[in-house]
Amino acid sequence: MYIHLGQDTVVRTRDIVGIFDIDNTSVSKDTKNYLKRSGTRGQVRNVCGSGDILDIGLPKSFVVITGPGGPITYISPISPATLKKRVAARRRLPRAKHR
Tens of pLDDT, residues 40-69: 999 999 998 755 555 567 899 999 999 888
- Show Cβ contacts of residue 13 under 8 Å, excluding neighbours closer than 6 positions: 1, 2, 3, 87, 90, 91
Note whether residue 53 is domain-resident.
yes
Note whether residue 97 is domain-resident.
no
Confidence (pTM): 0.83
Note whether residue 45 is domain-resident.
yes
Domain count, the chain: 1
Residue 13 has a pLDDT of 93
* Residue 56 to residue 48: CA distance in whole angstroms: 6
Note whether residue 99 is domain-resident.
no
Is the predicted pLDDT of residue 20 greater than 80, yes or no?
yes
Note whether residue 7 is domain-resident.
yes
Note whether residue 98 is domain-resident.
no
The burial class, CB within 10 Å (0-12 / 13-18 / 19+), for 48 is buried
Residue 55 has a pLDDT of 59
Question: What is the average pLDDT value for the chain, to the nearest integer?
Answer: 87
What's the domain range around 68?
2-92
